[in-house]
Each structure stands twice: as structure tokens, then as C-alpha cells.
Structure 1
Amino acid sequence: MTIADSSGFHTTQPENYFIERFAQAYRLEMDAFIELLRHGTAPLAGIRDGLEAQRLAEAAQVSLQRGQPVELSSDWVPN
């Protein structure tokens, strides 16, 4: 990563492992899950969000296989 500011350019090496890079995000996610269990607050993402993420991933795979864009309508499902 390179950061440019008024004192110049600064470069840092990326952390080696995925878990190390995203450790804080995982901790925050677990904290939010515990709060959800303790207080019954609604999660920010629901089952529909998961379904849409899956549809996007499958459309990307189909697009890669066909070598062309996939028109993703609201009722699109992979063949």
C-alpha cells in the first residue's frame, strides 16, 4: 500500500495472511452478533441480502464461462 500526504509517499508491506488483515473486521462482526443475541436487534443484512450476493456470484461465473456480460434481471437464475 502506498500513502501520499504532505510529507511525501509512504509504503507499507501487506500483512501476510487473510485472517491477519481482517482480524479487526472479524472481531467487530462477532461483537455485533453477540449484541444481536443479547438485545434482539435486527441484523444489518438479512436472508435476501445473502440470496442477492449468491445470485451475483453465480451471474459472474456464468459471465466468465460465456465470455460475455449477463443481464441480471430481478428473476434471473443460472441455467
Structure 2
Amino acid sequence: MNFFQPGRKLISKERVGSKVRKRYDRAQTPCQRVLASLLVGEKDKAKLRELYQTLNPVEFQCWVHVILRHHGGAR
């Protein structure tokens, strides 16, 4: 699950002449979308919140760079 990188979802498209006007909702991470959903139970939401509290985005980014460097992806 993506906890850190927000994305926007397309809400609607409207054709105006030869152009298409796209409307998006506000940017949210998939985790935020799950927490806002009425389809997900409170027990599962509590687990996600607990997991989120243990995450450190800076530490995660450092690990990604180490792994990429090890596999030759980042220089």
C-alpha cells in the first residue's frame, strides 16, 4: 500500500470544442482513500493507522536508495 505518494483521481471529462477538460479530486494517498472509505471497517482502519504510525518516510527513502545502488539502478 502506498502511504506517502499522493495521487489525484479523475472525476470527470468534458469536451469543449476540440479540447477535453478534465477535473480531478484533491490529491490523496491510497491509504487516505481507504481510511475515508465507508466500505472499510473500523477494525481494518485502526490497523492501517497503527501501521502508518510506525513508518518513517525518510528512512524508507534511504533504504530505497541503498537497494537501487546495490542493484545498479541509481548512481
Please state which band the TM-score falls in when normalised by the shorter chain: under 0.3
Give me the TM-score of the superposition, normalised by structure 1. Answer: 0.26
* Structure with the bigger percentage of helix: 1
Q: Which has the larger radius of gyration?
A: 1
User: Which structure has the higher relative contact order (CA within 8 Å, separation 6+)?
Assistant: 2
